[in-house]
Chains A and B, each alone.
Chain A
Amino acid sequence: DGGITQSPKYLFRKEGQNVTLSCEQNLNHDAMYWYRQDPGQGLRLIYYSQIVNDFQKGDIAEGYSVSREKKESFPLTVTSAQKNPTAFYLCASSSSRVLGQTKNYGYTFGSGTRLTVV
């Protein structure tokens, strides 16, 4: 079955350490996104990518970095510059092109990674 796989499910980061969150999809979706969710809040966009080798900053990109070397993969690195990284991180993908026409389709989300600073 197609879907999005995020790993690990739980991640603990020490102060000053960089960590990378994995996101892989086999849905053949063009677009991929990273969102951060804090308790009781909505989802805030960190980075998004509409095509391989291209990505754009979202609303809260500071302290994060991404790469999109393959269509299936969109890893997120939380750097030491991110001062408050403890949160639930969600990766999503969507199919934005159908027969050459741009469409809007619903997101498919991964199961998330819960990152805690220790």
Chain B
Amino acid sequence: KQEVTQIPAALSVPEGENLVLNCSFTDSAIYNLQWFRQDPGKGLTSLLLIQSSQREQTSGRLNASLDKSSGRSTLYIAASQPGDSATYLCAVVPGGYNKLIFGAGTRLAVHP
């Protein structure tokens, strides 16, 4: 059974720091991996999608890497800003089945 774990559960940093959020999954047979952002009480915004054949994806200040063999992904946020404060969720798609299996998320607070 695929399980997704995110560490840390919560993170509070001063503005300007570079951050690394971690995601691990138990079954390496994934189709792709997505990182999402969720603001309190709101829906999910897709940040990055990494296909199983890819090692990383970049969008602006965000960079996500994928190591299928070790069952790990990291989301790197450069030069954090207060507007980055949100919960970040990692989700994997098991091979051949288009459902997302989510971790519990990392709650990020960036203070001025």
Does A associate with B in a complex?
A: no
